[in-house]
Amino acid sequence: MQQWKSLLSEANVGAVLWNEPLAKYTTWKIGGPADCLVVPENKEQLAELIALLHAHRIPWTQLGRGSNMLVSDKGIRGAVIKLGQGFEDYRFEGETVTAGGGLSLVKLSVLAGKQGLSGLEFAGGIPGSVGGAVYMNAGAHGSDVSRIFKSADIVLETGELVTYAAKDMAFDYRHSILHERKGIVTEAVFELQHGDRKEISARMASYKDRRRRTQPLQSATAGSVFRNPPGDHAARLIEEAGLKGLRIGGAEISLQHANFIENTGQATAEDVLALIEHIKETIAKKNGIDMVPEVYVLGER
């Protein structure tokens, strides 16, 4: 650890926070400390950081905006990388938008609508970053990132900066090439279409109203916990099994939407994991379906 401190303190990699608790950086409000949290502000700092970590075989994890993930109670060993505000820029050019990897996907969808550009309406309720959305091919309301993706600049785990086009991304349901080829999206370009501002606004308002009525937006959650099985819905299966409202420790299966797990105030990662395992076992026994989590579990167990 002392060697890491010397390496990172002497390098131009952005802010470095040691033994930093991660709960305040996640939407579940759960998570132990990172050995170090590094916040680069530009591509050069990020590339230097990753090259340094690679050269010294220091493991690293990207945090993003902290949604769709569960950080263990013991925290994460090695370096945790969170893109700084320098990665939240955006620019519109005709029907394309270029957005930094750290920019809120919700914010980008709102900005696009105000420009009279259609294609990002589906993203208005996905509480992640642009980079995270590309990584997992985020989607909702019958659309996803792959349908509008044009290209992305990515820093690979060697520190090399590359540009991937859509054909390079191996997009599939909640999947991209970045699941196999580790890297961080610094910015992405999306191809949108001119549309009627009122119609775009109406669609987004409709999606927002539906979320408000069906999802526990005021609670600490990480979004949908499980993927929808082919031809069915995870929430329906969980509710049918009578699991709504089940609580373990401070974690509770939402009474409003059965595919959400709420942190009622003092939930630990182990509480959430116990609920996830109970759901998996119950549905497997009752329906013969293997429920696949959408959330990523990070850190030391």
> Would you please indicate which residues are annotated as catalytic (active-site) residues?
174, 224, 294
Q: How far apart are CA 262 and CA 188, in angstroms?
A: 31
What own/partner pairs with CB < 8 Å and gap ≥ 24 does 100-103 have? 100/130, 100/186, 100/187, 101/129, 101/130, 101/131, 101/134, 101/184, 101/185, 101/186, 101/187, 101/188, 102/64, 102/65, 102/129, 102/130, 102/131, 103/129, 103/130
Q: How far apart are CA 177 and CA 288, in angstroms?
A: 30
CA atoms within 13 A on the CB side of 79: 28
Q: How far apart are CA 215 and CA 224, in angstroms?
A: 10
What Å distances lie between residue 138 and 75, 106, 171, 246, 262, CA to CA? 25, 12, 10, 28, 21
Contacts of 85 (CB under 8 A, 6+ apart): 41, 102
> What are the b/e assignments for 263-289, b being 16+ CB within 10 Å?
beeebbbbbbbebbeebbebbeeeeeb
Please give the full DSSP string across 97-149, using - where no structure is assigned: EEEETTSBHHHHHHHHHHTTEES-GGGGG--SBHHHHHHHT-EETTEEGGGTE
Q: How many CB atoms lie within 10 A of CB 180?
A: 8
